[in-house]
């Protein structure tokens, strides 16, 4: 629980809202750009073969640098930190970073997004270090389609083992992300729902997005969240849950009490108006939108010996000028040829 005097100080120093009145509250921290999967909607194999030159260790922020940046964001009002990648569990000694971040006064939520393949080895040490929540991914319960959607690198059995390991370590309920691509895995969504109904875990269906520059996005491959709701409702009646404007997910629950589902409809029902997320890449660039073209180099600031106060002022300044709302303007921007976006794996989705 945050000490009152710290609460007061933190509130006093929150960052000004951005140009659209959105108040900074979440920081997603990518700790590595490498991944052990090659999901076609993020890091397709043909664009990232095994010998692709990813960032070298010295290019990545060290744990002390990540902690300094996180402290600056927390002092500016951030309450939620999420560790991402690439695949964050590929970053050595990750529990040490978790322990550093968990110790920051003001952090109310510390989560991790992972494909889970390495989780059985790390679930308990991460939990003991202070990690609060884990979000995993499962794009299909059909082993062949699962393998295909991981670029031939992942096995459904490993994803199931990750869920079991997370449960044993005391994480739960888990969020299970599923990116839906028409003609690839959408025929299997009822089977995926059946797998998790009554489990307490929440499946979140994510619309296939034009992230980055290499996933060959086509809008006819997008299955609107509303269509998925209809398909599922026909099998298991659903009811909408109250809308949380700050959440990316539209929540629905089963009328028979078997739990809930989430739908992240960035393409058909954009949520930029409530977007309060900043993203930090593993090499220390601050991105103000998932579809940003370029980031702001905080690593250079740190390595030039700038103070924490200078870091905080820089971040507050960047945020106050933020006007991003790509998803709301997607059609117009794509028509205008605005197709250059940072690769999603570099900023963790
Ligand atoms: S498109 Fe950008 S501004 Fe809109 S919700 Fe996504 S990250 Fe936020």
| Residue 349: predicted pLDDT | 85
**Mutation probe of ligand 1 site: the residue of 275, 279, 288 with most atoms within 8 A of C-beta:** 275
Which DSSP letter does residue 174 get? P
Q: How many angstroms separate the alpha carbon of residue 11 from the centre of ligand 1?
A: 25
Q: Is the pTM of this model over 0.85?
A: yes
Label residue 245 by pLDDT band (50, 70, 90): confident
| Residue 13: predicted pLDDT | 55
**Mutation probe of ligand 1 site: the residue of 244, 324, 332 with most atoms within 8 A of C-beta:** 324
From residue 343, how far is each of 28, 103, 147, 294, 306 by CA, in Å? 15, 31, 22, 10, 28
Map 112-154 to HEC letters: EECCCCCHHHHHHHHHHHCCCEEEEECCCCCHHHHHHHCCCCC
**Domain residue limits, the chain:** 4-174+274-347
C-alpha 148: how far from its chain's center?
22
Tokens for 265, please give them.
């409809």
State pLDDT tens for residues 45-67: 999 988 899 999 999 999 999 99
Q: What is the mean pLDDT of residues 126-151?
A: 98
Q: Which CATH architecture does the domain made up of 4-174+274-347 adopt?
A: Alpha-Beta Barrel (3.20)
| Residue 1: predicted pLDDT | 44
State pLDDT tens for residues 254-302: 999 999 999 999 999 999 999 999 999 999 999 999 999 999 999 999 9
End-to-end CA distance of the chain: 29
State pLDDT tens for residues 9-41: 555 557 889 999 999 999 999 999 999 999 999
| C-alpha to C-alpha distance for 36 and 117, rounded to whole angstroms | 8
In terms of Cβ atoms closer than 10 Å to its own Cβ (0-12, 13-18, 19+), residue 199 is middle
State pLDDT tens for residues 94-117: 999 999 999 999 999 999 999 999
Ligand 1: which atom is nearest the Cα of residue 275?
8
| C-alpha to C-alpha distance for 79 and 109, rounded to whole angstroms | 6
Query: Which residue owns the Cα nearest ligand 1 atom 4?
Result: 272
Average pLDDT over the chain, rounded to whole?
95
In this structure, the residues whose C-beta lies within 6 A of any atom of ligand 1 are 266, 271-272, 275, 289-291, 324-327
| C-alpha to C-alpha distance for 98 and 129, rounded to whole angstroms | 6
Query: Which residue owns the Cα nearest ligand 1 atom 3?
Result: 325
**Mutation probe of ligand 1 site: the residue of 22, 325, 348 with most atoms within 8 A of C-beta:** 325
């Amino acid at each position: 629980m945050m000490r009152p005097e710290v609460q007061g100080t933190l509130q006093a120093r929150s960052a000004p809202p951005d140009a659209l009145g959105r108040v900074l509250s979440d920081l997603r921290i990518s700790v590595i750009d490498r991944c052990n999967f090659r999901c076609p909607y993020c890091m397709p194999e043909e664009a990232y073969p095994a010998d692709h030159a990813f960032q070298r260790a010295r290019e990545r922020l060290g744990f002390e640098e990540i902690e300094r940046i996180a402290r600056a964001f927390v002092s500016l009002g951030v309450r939620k930190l999420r560790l991402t990648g690439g695949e964050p569990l590929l970053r050595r000694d990750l529990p040490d970073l978790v322990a550093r971040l968990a110790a920051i006064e003001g952090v109310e939520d510390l989560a991790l997004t992972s494909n889970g393949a390495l989780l059985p080895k790390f679930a308990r040490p991460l939990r003991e270090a202070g990690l609060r929540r884990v979000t995993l991914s499962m794009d299909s319960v059909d082993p062949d389609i699962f393998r295909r959607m991981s670029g031939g690198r992942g096995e459904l059995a490993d994803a199931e083992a990750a869920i079991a390991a997370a449960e044993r370590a005391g994480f739960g309920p888990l969020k299970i992300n599923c990116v839906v691509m028409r003609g690839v895995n959408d025929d299997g969504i009822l089977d995926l729902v059946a797998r998790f109904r009554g489990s307490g875990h929440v499946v979140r269906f994510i619309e296939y997005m034009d992230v980055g520059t290499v996933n060959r996005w086509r809008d006819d491959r997008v299955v609107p969240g509303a269509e998925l709701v209809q398909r599922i409702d026909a099998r298991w009646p659903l009811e909408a849950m109250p809308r949380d404007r700050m959440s990316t997910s539209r929540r629905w629950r089963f009328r028979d009490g078997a739990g809930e589902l989430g739908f992240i409809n960035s393409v058909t029902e954009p949520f930029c108006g409530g977007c309060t997320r900043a993203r930090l890449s593993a090499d220390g660039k601050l991105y103000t939108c998932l579809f940003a073209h370029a980031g702001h180099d905080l690593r250079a600031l740190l390595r030039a010996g700038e103070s924490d106060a200078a870091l905080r002022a820089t971040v507050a300044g960047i945020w106050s000028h933020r006007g991003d709302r790509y998803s709301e303007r997607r059609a117009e921007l794509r028509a205008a040829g605005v197709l250059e976006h940072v690769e999603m794996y570099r900023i963790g989705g």
